Structure 1
Amino acid sequence: MKFGIYSSIANPPHGEHLDRCVDQVIAEAQHAEASGFDSCFFGEHHQDKDGFLPSPLIVATAVAAQTQTLNVGTSVILLPLHHPVHVAEDVTTLDIVSKGRIMLGVGVGYQAADFRAFGLSMADRAARFEESVEIIRKCWTGEPFSFHGNHFTLEDVQILPKPFQNPSPPLWIGASVPSAVRRAGRLGDAFVSTPSTTLADTVRTIDIYRQAAQEAGREPQVILMRDAWVASSRAEAEAVYGPEVMAAYRYYWENQLSEFKGMAESEFTLDNVARDRIILGEPETCIREFHRWHEATGADYFLLRLRHAHSGGPAHDKIMSAIRLFGEGVIPYCE
């Protein structure tokens, strides 16, 4: 198994300066590299009160410049908000600068505020997304092409230089609802799962993805994004990580995302939502849980969401300790 971390730069708590949070994220990425992690990923939102990153590729570039072997990626860029030629060129540039360490993760988006910021309709997002994926792949060939779609019209385009990776950086697609999961199977090099689903729901989603990928003649690859935390004891893990992950889940619950839709207030507790959803506890428990999820899903890549933008935490020193303990007490036993 391989492991990555998902990070974010939120509006900093306790009066900290935002540039200090950027320094902390870079330090966490460096520590993850030294601790045996494979990658560090960043997401995108706009007009978010919690300060989600609006430009994840810029932060990924900063991390790539401060590391040697760590892969960097996006999970996800909200592709309908961008011109695909710009995305293709920016990712190519980072691929060359990092000597082949970029993974492009894209998604259609689900928050209306993101689309309002650019004057775009959410009704067109799926069609724009599919055209954009096709254009990006054409850009990365380095060959001249034209494209005539409903949303993009391009004449005699050739993007050079070509990416460092041969034939191109991997293009991963994040999705949660069945139609988007099937799209990931048709178009993507890998599928990135939603971190807050239960194991049973995750397995059902992966089955949909694998069927679509096989029908499209693609080799399925599953990336399990999970909320996870390791500590010296379950009690410590719950005390440090519990409030942070529950802040994110409350946001999902209040906005009636499918995995929490219909859940009563009385049911909304860490004990209840963690079951078969969050990987949490001492190293032995985490090892056992990663193996269980691997056996149930067939996935061998875990992307761990340690830092939560909705709360700004856990604290930097706690994240550094968790990264170290994952590296010493968990990752070597999940190979």
Structure 2
Amino acid sequence: MKFGLFLNPQAPLGQEPESIFEGLVEQTREARDGGFDLIMTGQHYLTDYIQLQLFPLLSRLSAESGSMTVATGIVLLPLHHPIEIAEMATTLDVIAEDVVVGVGVGYRDIEFESFGVKKSERGDRLKEGVQLMKELWANEEVTFDGEYYSVNNVSINPRPEKNLPVWVAANSRSAIERAARISEGWLVNSHSTVSEILGLKQSYDDIREQEGETMEVPVIREAFVAPSREEAVEIGRKYLGPKYKRYIEWGQDEAMEDEEDLHRSFDDLTEDRFLLGTPEEVSDQIERCEKKLDANYMIFRIQWPGLPHEKALRCIQLIGDEIIPNF
């Protein structure tokens, strides 16, 4: 099992952006020194949070990441031209020791409307975009004639020594099946329960078996580790609970296989979904994910808007000291 840290680029309005960034630098250093294998951060636009953008943030954090993999989690690929993301990722690969390109379709109406992209096109744009990126990375000259993107005899420079791994985030069965066909890994979302994921994974495994290839199974989990379960749950209730209400406001529930799944009380959401507790309790839950889902990456999202940096840093330290050494 490898371990990753999802760095939170969002904070309430009014918080100093510089202090957010400085906290993420310190968290990256702590993760590096604590034995984590990967850092990741996400992307949204036009939010009512402060939102630090993904590529410049990860480029700077790469100066602190050491041998950790640096992953985008996720690029909203349908909102961008694949040439742009292919070259951004290649530049990041020059800066960081190892890079994974995590992409997804997105779900927020305001982003699609403001970027002038039809939401109904997002799945096909993602599929075509991943194909074009891979061709640009692999070939000196590329001609591509798709429904949304067309290029004639073009090259990107520099190109990576080998194609960068692509992980596709997916929630619904159809999206998971698409991820199985076009990527090197299904980036398992943090919103579904382990039981729900297990029910969807069979389709994924069937397609991979047909393709004759094994793939990464990185699992993102909302998590907080504290000296007592009571403290971990209370922190989750205070900071994670409001974040899930915001997900519903943004339309994340409509992207789920079961659209009613996120409309639960915090206590109901916690069951089989969040990793909240002592190091021993969370270790047991990680073992369950590893066995049931064949997960080979556990990526912790341990900070949500408003949660103080000091509490997040202590959680990272506990994971590094008392969880990672056991796996």
Above 0.5 in TM-score? yes
Maintained 8 Å contact 2:172/2:257: no
Task: Indicate whether 1:272 and 2:268 are aligned.
Answer: yes
Task: Trace 1:35-50 onto structure 2 (pairs within 5 A).
Answer: 35-50=34-49
Please state how far the C-alpha of 1:142 moved relative to its aligned partner.
Answer: 3.7
> Which residue of the partner structure matches residue 75 of structure 1?
73
Please state how far the C-alpha of 1:198 moved relative to its aligned partner.
Answer: 1.0
Please state how far the C-alpha of 1:62 moved relative to its aligned partner.
Answer: 0.8
Match of 1:117 among 114, 119, 122: 114
Provide, for residues 96-138 of structure 1, a one-character-per-residue CA deviation record: whole Å limited to 9, x for no partner: 1223x21100001111111122111111111211111111001
> Which residue of the partner structure matches residue 318 of structure 2?
325
1:329 and 1:72 map into 2 onto residues whose CA distance is: 23
Question: Normalising by structure 2, what TM-score?
Answer: 0.94
Please state how far the C-alpha of 1:249 moved relative to its aligned partner.
Answer: 1.7
2:261 and 2:122 map into 1 onto residues whose CA distance is: 29
1:12 and 1:191 map into 2 onto residues whose CA distance is: 30
> Which residue of the partner structure matches residue 82 of structure 2?
84
2:262 and 2:292 map into 1 onto residues whose CA distance is: 28
> Which residue of the partner structure matches residue 20 of structure 1?
19
Maintained 8 Å contact 1:185/1:218: no
**SS state at 2:158 partner:** coil
Question: Normalising by structure 1, what TM-score?
Answer: 0.92
Distance 1:161 1:192, change over 3 A: same
For structure 1, which segment, 126-135 or 252-261, has the greater mean C-alpha deviation from structure 2 after superposition?
Answer: 252-261
Maintained 8 Å contact 1:64/1:71: no
Maintained 8 Å contact 2:87/2:156: yes
Task: Indicate whether 1:130 and 2:123 are aligned.
Answer: no
**SS state at 1:75 partner:** strand
Please state how far the C-alpha of 1:313 moved relative to its aligned partner.
Answer: 3.1
> Which residue of the partner structure matches residue 64 of structure 1?
62
Task: Indicate whether 1:139 and 2:132 are aligned.
Answer: no
1:112 and 1:218 map into 2 onto residues whose CA distance is: 35
Q: What is the percent sequence identity of the aligned residues?
A: 29
Maintained 8 Å contact 1:115/1:121: yes
Provide, for residues 176-205 of structure 1, a one-character-per-residue CA deviation record: whole Å limited to 9, x for no partner: 011110010000100011102111101112
Match of 1:234 among 229, 233, 236: 229
AA of the residue aligned to 2:303? R
AA of the residue aligned to 1:247? P
Distance 1:323 1:174, change over 3 A: same
Distance 1:241 1:152, change over 3 A: same
Provide, for residues 227-284 of structure 1, a one-character-per-residue CA deviation record: whole Å limited to 9, x for no partner: 111110001111223221111222234544437744697x51x322211111110111
AA of the residue aligned to 1:77? V
1:40 and 1:177 map into 2 onto residues whose CA distance is: 25
1:205 and 1:260 map into 2 onto residues whose CA distance is: 12
Maintained 8 Å contact 2:248/2:262: no
Please state how far the C-alpha of 1:213 moved relative to its aligned partner.
Answer: 2.3
- Count of equivalent residues: 324
Distance 1:320 1:158, change over 3 A: same
**SS state at 1:44 partner:** coil
2:212 and 2:142 map into 1 onto residues whose CA distance is: 24
> Which residue of the partner structure matches residue 7 of structure 2?
7
> Which residue of the partner structure matches residue 96 of structure 1?
94
Maintained 8 Å contact 1:175/1:192: yes
Maintained 8 Å contact 2:104/2:169: yes
Maintained 8 Å contact 1:37/1:327: yes
1:45 and 1:324 map into 2 onto residues whose CA distance is: 28
1:179 and 1:68 map into 2 onto residues whose CA distance is: 37
Maintained 8 Å contact 2:227/2:279: yes
Maintained 8 Å contact 2:93/2:99: yes
For structure 1, which segment, 112-121 or 179-188, has the greater mean C-alpha deviation from structure 2 after superposition?
Answer: 112-121
Task: Trace 1:235-250 onto structure 2 (pairs within 5 A).
Answer: 235-250=230-245
Distance 1:215 1:264, change over 3 A: closer
**SS state at 1:36 partner:** coil
1:127 and 1:263 map into 2 onto residues whose CA distance is: 26
Maintained 8 Å contact 2:30/2:313: yes
1:28 and 1:250 map into 2 onto residues whose CA distance is: 26
Structure 1 unaligned residues grouped into runs of 5+: none
CA-atom RMSD, angstroms? 1.8
Maintained 8 Å contact 2:9/2:42: no
AA of the residue aligned to 1:237? A
Please state how far the C-alpha of 1:175 moved relative to its aligned partner.
Answer: 0.5
**SS state at 1:65 partner:** coil
Superposition misfits of 4+ residues, deviation over 4 angstroms:
none
